[in-house]
């Protein structure tokens, strides 16, 4: 009686034979990889969107403060950006936000 070890028997099997359980495990692994990739793309898009928003805000703020001084922006008492003599004072907006409205 010849004693063939389990490793020898497995090694002698053709490579195309895969049990259903192993095939499902491999399919599950592929599905999980696809889901991980989709979630990674979603995270990448959200981070890219946030970075884009911050960059645009910084660029537009830089352009704005090239025309209007920071001192005028913080201390001017008028907010009339659509008038011919435009004023961009933030003080009225801040005071209106901070004043408590009584019922």
Tens of pLDDT, residues 46-79: 999 999 999 999 999 999 999 999 999 998 888 8
* CB 67 within 8 Å of CB 79: no
Q: Which residue has the higher pLDDT, 7 or 40?
A: 40
Upper half-sphere CA count for residue 67 (Cβ side, 13 Å): 8
pLDDT at residue number 37: 97
pTM attached to this predicted model = 0.59
Q: How many CB atoms lie within 10 A of CB 101?
A: 5
Q: Which residue has the higher pLDDT, 10 or 82?
A: 82
DSSP string, 1-28: -----HHHHHHHS-TT---HHHHHHHHH
């Amino acid at each position: 009686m010849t004693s063939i070890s389990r490793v020898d028997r497995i090694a002698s099997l053709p490579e195309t034979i895969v049990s259903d359980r192993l095939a499902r495990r491999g399919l599950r692994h592929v599905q999980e990889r696809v889901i991980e990739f989709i979630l990674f793309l979603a995270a990448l898009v959200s981070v890219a969107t946030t970075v884009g928003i911050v960059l645009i805000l910084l660029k537009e703020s830089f352009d704005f403060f090239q025309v209007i001084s920071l001192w005028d922006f913080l201390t001017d008492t008028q907010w009339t950006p659509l008038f011919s003599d435009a004023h961009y004072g933030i003080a009225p907006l801040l005071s209106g936000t901070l004043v408590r409205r009584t019922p």
